[in-house]
A = this chain, B = another copy of it.
Amino acid sequence: MRPSGRSFNEMREVSFETGVNRYAEGSCLVKFGNTHVLCTASWDESVPPWMRNSGKGWVTAEYNMLPRATHTRGRRERDKGPGGRTQEIQRLIGRSLRAVVDMQALGERQILIDCDVIQADGGTRTASITGAYVALRQAVEWAKSNGIIKNDPITDTVAAISCGLYNGSPVVDLDYDEDSSAQADANFVFTGSGGIVEVQGTAEGDPFSEEQFTTLLSLARRACDELTQKQKETA
Contacts and interface: CB of A to CB of B under 8 A. Distances in A.
Q: How many copies does the complex hold?
A: 6
Chain A contact residues (Cβ within 8 angstroms of B): what range? 35 or more
A93 B44 CA distance: 33
A84 B76 contact: no
Contact of A68 (B23, B88, B200): B23
Contacts of A40: 66-68
B24 A68 contact: yes
Interface stretch (A9-17, A113-121, A125-133, A167-175): A113-121
A66 B38 contact: yes
The binding surface of chain A is classed by DSSP as mixed
A84 B78 contact: no
A213 B216 CA distance: 14
16 contacts: A27-B68, A42-B68, A73-B112, A76-B78, A77-B78, A78-B78, A78-B79, A82-B84, A84-B87, A84-B91, A196-B209, A196-B213, A197-B202, A197-B207, A198-B203, A200-B200
Given A23-B119, A76-B78, A191-B207, 5 more contacts: A40-B67, A79-B82, A84-B88, A88-B88, A210-B221
